[in-house]
Structure 1
Amino acid sequence: MSGVSEAPNGARGEAALDLAGERLRLRPSFAALVAAEEELGPLFDLVDRAADGKLSLSDMAALFWHCLVDPPQGLTRDGLGEAIVEAGLAKLSPVLRGILKQILGGR
């Protein structure tokens, strides 16, 4: 991955995702959440799975992928998934929690 992403704008519901030496921006926009829902099923079910500790790695990667803003040139979905595994779930839990809060509460 290469390139520099703008700093996340909290007023727009954006979150920072630091992976593989890059700072990526995630924004749970309407279009992003519709795309995620088409792939993953209803968002409330996704939130319930997360609350029950049953959110899969592929669920997380898909949600992050759909919410990604201005990805670095050359970043693929598989590359994002590999970077997620490399970073570890503990590091990414706060980012996931923030996106899920946006889904439930809006901005």
Structure 2
Amino acid sequence: MSQSGTSAQGRANPARGEASLLVDGASVVLRPSFEALVAAEEELGPLFALVERAAAGGLRVAEIAALFWHCQRDGAVPRERIGAAIVEKGPAGVTPVLRVLLSQVLQGR
């Protein structure tokens, strides 16, 4: 997993709070836009509670997959594939990407 990479979606720009997740050999750019975070919050509940669960090590794969899926830049990758990539990489492999997205939540970006 890389925090930046190229694919049909383009390159993640860390200056914009973007990260990328390698799914099926392609880099999926994740960007926590306002709309994406609202949709994620509707599904997952308050995002600050999500951040607290993450800090306590209590996030489930389904919650991480939902957040990543909502934050895709173009929404082309099915949630199941994102979830499978998360399981494949394990907690240590997705923590850097999760950290970028949760930082954006805390910064209100």
TM norm structure 1:
0.87
- Please tell me whether residue 91 in structure 1 is matched to residue 97 in structure 2: no
Tell me the distance in 1 between the aligned counterparts of 2:93 and 2:35.
26
Identity %: 56
Moved over 4 A (4+): none
2-structure distance, mates of 1:79, 1:17: 11
Gaps of 5+ in 1: none
Of 92-101 and 5-14, more deviation after overlay is shown by: 5-14
Counterpart check, 1:10 vs 2:14: yes
Q: Partners in 2 of 1:15 and 1:76 — Cα distance?
A: 18
Q: Describe the SS at the equivalent of 1:60.
A: helix
Counterpart of 1:51 (choices 50, 55, 59) is 55
State whether residues 5 and 71 of structure 1, in contact with CA within 8 Å, keep that contact through their aligned partners in structure 2.
no
Task: Kindly tell me the number of residue pairs found equivalent between the two proteins.
Answer: 103
Indicate how the Cα distance of structure 1 residues 22 and 71 shifts in structure 2: closer, same or farther if over 3 A, else same: farther
CA contact (8 A) 2:33 2:71 kept: yes
- 1:22 is aligned to 26
Aligned match for 1:76, one of 75, 78, 83: 78
Q: Letter of the 2:55 partner, please give it.
A: A
Decide whether the 8 Å contact of 2:23 with 2:81 is kept in 1. no
Name the CA distance, whole Å, in 2 between partners of 1:62 and 1:46.
12
Q: CA RMSD in A?
A: 1.5
Higher relative contact order, structure no. (Cα contacts within 8 Å, ≥ 6 residues apart) = 1
1:43-89 CA distance string (max 9 Å, x none): 110000001111111110000000011244xx321122112212222
Of 41, 44, 49 in structure 2, the residue corresponding to residue 40 of structure 1 is 44
- Which stretches in structure 2 are left out of the alignment for 5+ residues? 1-6
